[in-house]
Chains A and B, each alone.
Chain A
Amino acid sequence: MSLPPSELLGRISTTMREEIGPVVTGDYQRTQAFMAAVVLDKLARQLALTAVHERAEAADRGQLFADLDGLLPAGGAPADVRAAVDEGLAGGGGDVVCRLIETLYHHRAELAEAFGPALGRVRAASRARVDRQMQYAT
């Protein structure tokens, strides 16, 4: 059975850190060797989590737009807010979430009391996204 790419990268990172880095001469070159180990380690962890994270991201996004559909005033939401939500409901990606945030801020006066809950719901999804990223970023 072949080694999954993420595990292979992790092992290369360990070799770089423990076998290669310590014997590299020159401050700059040694720093580069250490950084190579760090980058490989992060890549390994990111790669190992990619499939799980992509599924979670898609599920979160679907639920986000479904919830927003109910949070926004029926028939009274500004047209481009509505358009962003509809695009999200149709399966739009992360860029739609960003566009939605911009339209929410742009129309915050019109949205009045609906602005806070709608932005709060987007923030909950964004929080979950960054929490996933932090699993390999730190």
Chain B
Amino acid sequence: MADRIRQYVATKLAGADDLRLVDLEQIAVGWSHETWLFDAHWTVEGKARSQGFCLRRDPGNALLRDLSDLAVQFRVLQCLEPTAVPTPAPYWYEDDEAILGAPFLVMEKVPGTCPNPWGREGRRFYEDAARRGRLPASFTGALAALHGLDWETAGLSFLGVPGPGIDFALGEVAKWRAFIARTAHEPEPILTDLICWLEANAPPTERLVLVHGAYRTGNLLVHDDHVSAVLDWELQVIGDPMYDVAYVLSDLNREGTDLLSNLVDRDDFYRQYEAATGIEIDDDACRYYQLLYAMRSVAFWMSASDLYATGRSRDLRLARTRWSIPVVLERAARDLGY
């Protein structure tokens, strides 16, 4: 793979001599698109140049592959590049499978780290950052920038624009219902109840923003105590800002702490988000969207365990997710008032 990537990059760097790729590493395995990081060093007319790159390749069996292809991700990054939302600059997208065996995109390797909030080291990292205070403010500020974006001017209408009222919420329920229907799992009464409840109680959307869909630590690159890039553009939609806020507020995105996403004080988040966006957080809508996230989680786990059961993946982490389904449903049952 290293040789093929080097040959490809050589075709994109006009006039480059002595191209070398160093520190090439694959950092994600199995769940989503493959991610490769590397630094390129070359010379142009005798002058040394270097640049960090991040390459994402479609392995053909990625979780959510049906909902998120790399062409869409690339286009979203192109739209966001000139905006205040911190994102990696997109360089090239290729759907010619002859190049690397599958479609791929290449983007900027943004400085920073992405500590895993579920691991011991990651939890300590965010705990220390919370004490210093700059990263929590940056976390909220980046979300506010995202929700304050003029998505029409940015060219993001191609993502699909919901109609007024409850169209957005019903559209999301329908999307995940269809996703679940494509799996081979037997019907689950609590899931059916959850879906029917979501359809019967969809909240109207007051305003439309660009929703990231999975805004939390672990999907954000951190550098020098600030968010250097918002990553994982796989679930974005034009929709209700409370969809993202509910995800931030979710208990599922923190562990062993009251801090949202293991990082942000709840009261500070409310105050800073509302001040920066002018959007009042609607707790009822957030409760609704948290139940929608439960449905989405079940869809993830059903799809993931199917990938293993049908032989499309040999990653046992996916096989294990089959037993995550009742755990999510049990929690949803409690939230529904069972």
Contacts and interface: CB of A to CB of B under 8 A. Distances in A.
B34 to A, nearest CB: 13
B200 A130 contact: no
Interface residues of B, number: 27
Interface in A67-116: 94-95, 97-98, 101-102, 104-105, 108
Contacts of A28: 29
A131 B319 CA distance: 21
A134 B133 CA distance: 39
B326 A133 contact: yes
B50 interface: no
A101 B192 contact: yes
B311 interface: no
Interface in A114-138: 119, 122-123, 125-127, 129-131, 133-134, 136-138
B200 A126 contact: no
Contacts of B316: 32, 35-36, 39
A125 B193 CA distance: 12
B27 to A, nearest CB: 11
Interface in B188-229: 188-190, 192-193, 196-197, 199-200
B329 interface: yes
Contacts of A15: none
Contacts, number: 77
A105 B320 contact: no
B48 to A, nearest CB: 34
Given A123-B333, A126-B333, A137-B327, A98 B188 contact: yes
Nearest to B30: A28
Contact of A129 (B189, B324, B327): B189
A137 B190 CA distance: 16
B190 A105 contact: no
B131 interface: no
A30 B336 CA distance: 39
A31 interface: yes
Contacts of B23: none
A105 B327 contact: no
Given A105-B199, A130-B190, A136-B323, 12 more contacts: A31-B317, A42-B320, A94-B186, A94-B187, A98-B192, A101-B192, A105-B196, A105-B197, A119-B193, A130-B326, A130-B333, A137-B324
Interface of A: 28, 31-32, 35-36, 38-39, 42, 94-95, 97-98, 101-102, 104-105, 108, 119, 122-123, 125-127, 129-131, 133-134, 136-138
10 closest A-B pairs by CB: A133-B326, A35-B316, A105-B196, A98-B187, A126-B189, A98-B192, A137-B323, A137-B326, A101-B192, A97-B189
18 contacts: A31-B317, A32-B316, A35-B319, A36-B316, A38-B320, A39-B316, A42-B323, A94-B186, A94-B189, A104-B196, A122-B189, A123-B338, A125-B189, A130-B329, A133-B329, A134-B327, A137-B324, A137-B326
